[in-house]
């Protein structure tokens, strides 16, 4: 599987962006309405489609609060 790198400059407080990328409520606010996410290295983040099937599954590898998410 290939890696995807996305860099996006936005006008937002780094802590808010970190929460929006790593915590279920933040992810559900902008991505999809049903997520499984825990901001802890080694856990799986799962995004579900409207039909309830897993659309995307990712592993949290690096978390530096307010700075970096891999």
Residue 5 lies in a domain: no
Looking at residue 7, its pLDDT comes to 80
Half-sphere exposure of 51 (CA within 13 A, CB side): 3
Assign 25 to helix, strand or coil.
helix
Total number of domains in the chain: 1
Residue 13 lies in a domain: no
Which domain does 41 fall in, by range? 25-64
Residue 12 lies in a domain: no
Assign 15 to helix, strand or coil.
helix
Q: What is the pTM of this model?
A: 0.76
Residue 47 lies in a domain: yes
* Tens-place pLDDT, residues 3-56: 877 788 889 999 999 999 999 999 999 888 899 999 999 999 999 987 777 788
Residue 17 lies in a domain: no
């Amino acid at each position: 599987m290939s890696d995807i790198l996305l860099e996006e400059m936005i006008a937002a407080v780094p802590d808010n962006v970190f929460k929006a990328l790593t915590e279920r409520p933040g992810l559900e606010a902008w991505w999809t309405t049903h997520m499984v996410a825990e901001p802890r290295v080694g856990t799986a983040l799962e995004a579900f489609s409207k039909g309830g099937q897993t659309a995307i599954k990712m592993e949290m590898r690096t978390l530096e609060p307010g700075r970096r998410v891999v």
